[in-house]
């Protein structure tokens, strides 16, 4: 899966999880920039991402994420393992 495809899919996921059609996944997007992105929403987001991409993340991997760019890189690394 290409980086562009990952960001396209992440955009759809973000819009669904946060019920905001204006959201666009971009590398520098952080939780602080998204209304409603709290700890509960983060868990929902990560579960949705895992299901959508067919991957499983370790807690230590998720703890190190600083922005959507980090998430996209993690998805790319996990999907290329398969």
- The pLDDT value recorded for residue 81 is 77
Residue found under tokens 């666009």: 24
- In this prediction, residue 12 carries a pLDDT of 98
- Name the region of 29 (left: φ>0; alpha: ψ -120 to 50; beta: rest): beta
Residues 38, 1: Cα–Cα separation, whole Å: 29
Beta-carbon count within 10 A of 13 CB: 19
pTM above 0.75? yes
Instruction: Please give the Cα distance from 44 to 47 (Å, whole number).
Output: 5
Tens-place pLDDT, residues 18-68: 999 999 999 999 999 999 999 999 999 999 999 999 999 999 999 889 999
CATH class of residue range 3-81: mainly alpha
- Among candidates 68, 63, 51, which has minimal Cα distance to 10? 68
User: Which pLDDT value is given to residue 82?
Assistant: 55
Please report, for the chain, the start and end positions of each structural domain, with discontinuous segments joined by +.
Answer: 3-81
């Amino acid at each position: 899966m290409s980086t562009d495809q990952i960001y396209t899919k992440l955009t759809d996921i973000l819009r669904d999880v946060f019920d905001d059609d204006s959201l666009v996944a971009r590398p520098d997007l952080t939780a602080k920039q998204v209304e409603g992105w709290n700890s509960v929403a983060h868990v929902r987001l990560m579960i949705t991402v895992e299901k959508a991409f067919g991957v499983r993340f370790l807690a230590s991997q998720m703890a190190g994420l600083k922005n959507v760019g980090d998430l996209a890189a993690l998805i790319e690394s996990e999907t290329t393992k398969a």
